[in-house]
Structure 1
Amino acid sequence: MSDRERRSKTDEESAADLRAGLTHEQLNALHTLEHFGWTLRFVRRPLFLDPIPVVFFRDGTRFAVLEADGTANENPGFKIRP
């Protein structure tokens, strides 16, 4: 087994890592959005601030930030590089 194989995480582990630290409201909203084709792609984790989960629509053209109260903000005030 190579080092890369030992270090690579399964999809389930990666998904669990992304969800770690999210509020109950964010997790509920994410569960609902996933039924409509949205996917959690990454979580911004700025120092000393709450995590910022970023979800993308299935076609990849739209994204939104899940606020701490579970609302989806499609105009978060920052750009995502293509």
Structure 2
Amino acid sequence: MTEHLILAPLPGTFYRRPAPDAAPYVEEGKLVAADTVIACIEVMKQFNELTAQHSGHLQTFLLEDGDAVDIGQPVARVVT
């Protein structure tokens, strides 16, 4: 098994859901493809989708909804 960290491509606010009343994009422990949207990062009212970048199981998120995130900061782990 190989562990991959998913890094934030830009700074902003991290969200696991597309809207406050919506279900999360993906739950921890679920199987994801490299192009699966797992979260979004909001920058000045612009929402940028974040993909898993690797196929495997999304092991854990390292941030909570609404947390500030910096460029290059790890946001989740995927195990292949």
**Please, what TM-score do these two structures have when normalized by structure 1?**
0.30
Q: Which has the larger radius of gyration?
A: 1
Greater strand content? 2
Greater helix share, structure number: 1
Q: Which fold has the larger relative contact order, with Cα–Cα distance below 8 Å and residues 6 or more apart in sequence?
A: 2
**What is the TM-score normalised by the length of structure 2?**
0.30
